[in-house]
Amino acid sequence: MLKSENLSYISGAFSDRGAVKKLNQDKICIRTKSVDNGEALIAVVCGGMGGMARGDVAANTVIREFAIWFRNHLEEMIEEPRKIMKDWRMITDELNERIWGYGKQKGIKLGTTMTTILFLPDGRYYTANVGNNRIYRITDNGLQQDNEKTPGKQPKVYMGSYELVEPCFANDNIHAGESLLLCTDGFYRMLKNKLDKELIETSYEKDEDIRKKLEEMIHEMTARGVRDNLSAILVKAN
């Protein structure tokens, strides 16, 4: 696939506790950075383990570490993108060990799903996934699950819930006008019929357009009685 050049990105996110749960254990993060040949963006969606203690702690731990990595190491990764997966493997192993150890120390069980995407200015993007979050590519042709063939070697395992986890890593290219959607299971289980058409047919010109659309959709899902937390991030390449 040919690479794009000098891309910028617009993005938006929204998260809600849903119709039943008192606590939203989902955590979301978007960070952007201008570089010489365009813009880079990292997006992270984490779904704290539902029904178990302190899933929000696990999710926040993952979000924070990837945000720090993006802030401190982006420039060197643009120069040597082959190091991205190596770095991410080290981070996920360390985070899993930390969360697993915290749970053992406190005598509780906690964990989180994790989906991380890094977009580079030339259109390359890299993904890391643990658990049952999903990634969708949105084009003029419709909505297609981007991680359908590689949902993670342990799709029902959460970071921190087992001593060892096996993340799924992948990379691809995005072109101007295309979008990627990251979401937790509370969101994608409602993503059908009218709702997926809204994502495809809506025009986004700025970050706020995306945030408002996701907020509108999630409020509609919640009104339908969705029991789970719902979270989504949408990133569009320009």
162: β partners: none
Measure the CA–CA gap between 31 and 35, rounded to whole angstroms.
13
Helix (H), strand (E) at residue 29: strand 26-35
pLDDT for res 125? 96
User: Contact at 8 Å (CB) between 174 and 123?
Assistant: yes
Cβ atoms within 10 Å, residue 45: 32
Is the residue at 177 inside a domain? yes
Helix (H), strand (E) at residue 190: none
User: Contact at 8 Å (CB) between 14 and 232?
Assistant: yes
Cβ atoms within 10 Å, residue 139: 13
What's the CATH code of the domain at 137? Answer: 3.60.40.10
Calculate the CA dihedral of residues 168, 173, 174, 176 and round it to 10 degrees: 170
Residue by residue, pLDDT tens for the chain (238 residues) are 344 468 999 999 999 999 988 889 999 999 999 988 889 999 999 999 755 557 888 999 999 999 999 999 999 999 899 999 999 999 999 999 999 998 889 888 889 999 999 999 999 999 999 999 999 998 877 788 886 544 444 456 788 888 888 899 999 999 999 999 999 999 998 887 567 788 888 889 999 999 999 999 999 999 988 889 999 999 999 9
Measure the CA–CA gap between 67 and 54, rounded to whole angstroms.
21
Measure the CA–CA gap between 143 and 100, rounded to whole angstroms.
36
10 Å CB burial of residue 141 (0-12, 13-18, 19+) is: exposed
User: Contact at 8 Å (CB) between 160 and 103?
Assistant: yes
User: Contact at 8 Å (CB) between 65 and 96?
Assistant: no
Is the residue at 2 inside a domain? no
Is the residue at 128 inside a domain? yes
10 Å CB burial of residue 151 (0-12, 13-18, 19+) is: middle
Per DSSP, the residues of 95-128 read HHHHHHHHHHHHT----B-EEEEEE-TTSEEEEE
Is the residue at 122 inside a domain? yes
Q: Rounded to two decimals, what is the model's pTM?
A: 0.92
Q: Residue 112: which domain range?
A: 9-237
Is the residue at 229 inside a domain? yes
Domain count along the chain: 1
Measure the CA–CA gap between 196 and 192, rounded to whole angstroms.
5
